[in-house]
Structure 1
Amino acid sequence: MGKATGFMEYTREIPAELSPAERVKNWQEFKLPFAEELSRKQGARCMECGIPFCHTGIELNGMTAGCPLNNLIPEWNDLIYRGMWQEALNRLLKTNNFPEFTGRVCPAPCEGSCTLGMNQPAVTIKTNEYQIIEKAFQEGWIKAEPPTERSGKKVAVVGSGPAGLACADQLNKAGHLVTVYERADRIGGLLMYGIPNMKLDKEKVVQRRVNMMIEEGVEFITNIEVGRDIFADKLQQDYDALVLCGGSTKARDLKVPGRDLPGVYFALEFLSANTSSLLDSQHKDGNYISAEGKDVIVIGGGDTGTDCVATSIRQGCNSVVQFEIMPQPPRERQADNPWPEWPKTLKLDYGQKEALELHGRDPREYLIMTKRFLADQKGKLTGVETVKIKWEKDKDGRFNPVEIPGTKKTWPVQLVLLAMGFSGPEETLLEELGLEQDERSNVKAGYGDFATNVTGVFAAGDMRRGQSLVVWAIKEGREAAEEVDKYLNA
């Protein structure tokens, strides 16, 4: 597990980044190269802790602790330290189909549960993963490996996000004939259109993996929405099994006066149109929602909200503010948030860093509630009215937001982006198949077998578990594939 005294000899270092002032001039990834010798030192910091929670992937207090994929983190940290990169790659690929994705966009719950992190900065697990997979691609160690034998069994996977891709990859490796259906014009789901290019390059990273899967025999069909363009019963007739990996795509709305005004959009509408136009024409076609010269308000404080902040800045917004209804997190772990839980502490993500440097302030406003959107006499969006709130317990012990008198404020705005998460899968396909849904409207399919109430139909990823992390989607896709394989071979 690294060097016995490495954690005492070396400090945490991560790759440098282009400055915000430089990187906002384009849509490229902005992490700078990291010397191999520095990576080896970071691997050396992995201590022989004896109880490596980093790879546990459990839920504590409603939050993920450790890696859901159960990545063999101490093992490949040790191999990096020893310079055994190909062996490190082999250990990494045993549990993760797409470390080039997670090494870029995962929030790294593994680092939140690192034993060293109790009293020092955690081991750079996410960076180490990124370094392994990118060195492997550079050295040509990652090559297409089509299965040597085919079972003759056919599987249709609906949705090409991380769950769908992982499921298809595993089933293809098992020798089955896999076809992935995607309603968008490109493969990748949220990897392609939900995450901006500067966080995850579409052509150099996502399409690189898709091309390899095509070489290995996976068939991809785009611009086809199952349940609309092709009926699910047709797939049931043509395939031996059907796996639903369509994601949780019903965006949470904000039902306040003025919601229907032009200029108020869901975050995913904004982000997907921007990426599509970027890939199609480098924004020359104008087929996107522009923040240029506008005062922008993002409602929602998660990763998607941050992506909206960063995208607005690159488009040339006049200002950007990000509303969060929750209180500002503390700067240090609190007593009720002990290790190895995910640390609920204040973090400055890339979008906030860019706003801070370019606009002079962290864009986030906490404990704020939107009351209504305002328009001028021509019906044009001009403002957002808000109040400050506090959280108080009701008689049943549940916290509720309570408005603070005298805190009403009007913010100038010409573009509002709703980034409040997602409430479940779209239901057209589910109703057509007659699938049961749970109390949160997700497809009812048990964890462990991923089987729905319809024989031969399985579900995985956000469509089954609800909105979650890319790393959870990959895990679900892998494990669903294992259950489908058992079903096909029964």
Structure 2
Amino acid sequence: MGKPTGFLEYKRVSNPTRKIEERLKDWNEVYILRDKETCEKQGARCMDCGVPFCHRGELLHNGASGCPVYNLIPEWNDLIYKGRWKDALERLHHTNNFPEFTGRVCPAPCEAGCVLSINEPAVTIHDNERTIIDNGFDQGWVVPEPPESRTGKTVAVVGSGPAGLACAAQLNRAGHTVTVFERDDRIGGLLMYGIPNMKLDKDVVQRRVDILEAEGIIFKPNTEVGKDIRSKKLLDKFDAVVLTTGATKPRDLDVEGRELDGVHFAMEFLSANTKSLLDSKLEDGNYISAKDKNVIVIGGGDTGTDCVATSLRHGCKSITQLEIMPKPPKERNSDANPWPEWPGNEKTDYGQFEAIVSKGKDPRKYSIMTTKVEGENGKAKAIHTVQVEWVKTENGGRRPQAIPGTERYIKADLVLLAMGFLGPEDKIAEELDMKRDSRSNYKAEYGKFKTSIKKVFSAGDARRGQSLVVWAINEGRAAAREVDTYLMGDTVLP
């Protein structure tokens, strides 16, 4: 629990960020660590709350509250307060295979469920987690731990994002021989090419991949299942198959002018940038440049923010981020959105802060719908928008309705579509004739993870739809238990 009176004595101190003027000149991580002494005091703020809501993830009104991987948060907060850093690392790894990822990119639903956050700023759970794992690596405590023996069973994991890596790590720990197939040239999936360097440095990803490989996991990059190797061949070759391909089918913009040069999906933009950065520090030119362009980002989520931040680093002329939803309130509405639900108030992320400083204004505009992309000589030059209001429908839902007289014309040389994802791509499901749910995800019940095809399981975004990295780790670990049970009749996995 930390120090009994710590929450009364110490104010919240989060990990600081690098100066915006400095970080816009490079691709290094935005956040830096507090010193250990400060972190120990922050661990002391964890109060004796009786029933901690922080360490068990629940979905409340479609928002996460508490930690989806059930991190033993009060325990390791108490341990770092007492200076027992190695013990804290052991307790952290007990539930989370990759705290260096979640400690960087997770939005911290644990803090939404922190009891202290009812009337005070929450404990810095997210930052404490990153400090524990980064200190563990610095001290040389994180080392490969291969299994003592092998079961003789083989498992194929398709996709090397957080769900796939977590599943592979757990199955390897149980002694099975695991092969991970990845269509990209580097292992990591979303972690490698979907999240920019300034949020998650790729050396951090590769460091963990190297450990997993040293523990005995076999990685097969540049191998697309359904193209380079047939899906059915995996069924013949392996004792079990786990599909963790992610929800990589992007939601498109169905308007006139969508086909114009300069209109791209956000992941085309972000992935190409990261690959070029890793391959040549952007010297090969194999990316979509925003330099000197009027950039429009359509979509207000994390991916949209990453597009804003990337465009600023390219040196864009202007940046505008459009969101079709209404602007959230400044403060939590305690009646409609009470604790411990995820707070639905407005949040300003790193990309928006950077735009405010470098361009002089917040790039976000709310309740805006794009109606047309206008072009010249085959290239985008502007978009047409209209303000919308959300009206109730007969079935109790809501839909956007255009407000007459609010039409607007905005210059646009580059339009980035960051409107979310619709599910996994079709190739594997069609080849296996596998059942899918109403949202086109691989159909597999949570907790069992079995698909309609014998010995084929699914986990992560491919099964649940677009979600958080921490939920992907949750599902990867849980699916591993089910696969282990399927192969052995019982499971040794937590």
- What range describes the TM-score normalised by the shorter chain of this pair? over 0.9
* 1:19 shift after superposition: 1.1
Structure 1 match to 2:163:
163
1:353 counterpart SS class: helix
* 1:463 shift after superposition: 0.5
Structure 2 match to 1:350:
350
Structure 1 match to 2:270:
271
Structure 2 match to 1:61:
61
Structure 2 match to 1:315:
314
Alignment of 1:30-45 (within 5 A): 30-45=30-45
Structure 1 match to 2:3:
3
User: Partner amino acid for 1:374?
Assistant: E
Alignment of 1:56-455 (within 5 A): 56-203=56-203, 205-334=204-333, 335-376=335-376, 378-455=377-454
1:277 counterpart SS class: helix
* 1:51 shift after superposition: 1.3
- Give distance in 1, aligned partners of 2:369 and 2:433: 38
* 1:17 shift after superposition: 1.3
| RMSD, matched Cα | 0.7
2:421 counterpart SS class: coil
- Give distance in 2, aligned partners of 1:379 and 1:485: 54
- Give distance in 2, aligned partners of 1:339 and 1:403: 34
User: Partner amino acid for 2:370?
Assistant: T
C-alpha distance after superposition, 1:7-43 (max 9, x if no partner): 1100000122111111010001132331111001100
* 1:134 shift after superposition: 0.3
* 1:379 shift after superposition: 2.2
* 1:47 shift after superposition: 0.5
* 1:112 shift after superposition: 0.8
Q: 8 Å contact 2:460–2:476 — kept in the other structure?
A: yes
C-alpha distance after superposition, 1:257-293 (max 9, x if no partner): 0000000000000000000000000001000000000
User: Partner amino acid for 1:124?
Assistant: T
Report the identity percentage.
61
- Give distance in 1, aligned partners of 2:427 and 2:355: 40
User: Partner amino acid for 2:210?
Assistant: N
Structure 2 match to 1:47:
47
1:54 counterpart SS class: coil
2:210 counterpart SS class: helix
- Give distance in 2, aligned partners of 1:17 and 1:424: 34
Query: How many pairs are equivalent?
Result: 488
- Give distance in 2, aligned partners of 1:14 and 1:63: 23
1:381 counterpart SS class: strand
* 1:153 shift after superposition: 0.6
- Give distance in 1, aligned partners of 2:280 and 2:448: 43
Q: 8 Å contact 2:387–2:402 — kept in the other structure?
A: yes
Structure 1 match to 2:492:
none
User: Partner amino acid for 1:272?
Assistant: S
- Give distance in 1, aligned partners of 2:445 and 2:396: 31
C-alpha distance after superposition, 1:45-72 (max 9, x if no partner): 0110011111120111111111111111
- Give distance in 1, aligned partners of 2:33 and 2:110: 23
2:441 counterpart SS class: coil
1:53 counterpart SS class: coil
- Give distance in 2, aligned partners of 1:57 and 1:15: 23
1:485 counterpart SS class: helix
- Give distance in 2, aligned partners of 1:78 and 1:33: 19
Q: 8 Å contact 2:111–2:124 — kept in the other structure?
A: yes
C-alpha distance after superposition, 1:358-393 (max 9, x if no partner): 0001100000000000012x2221100000011111
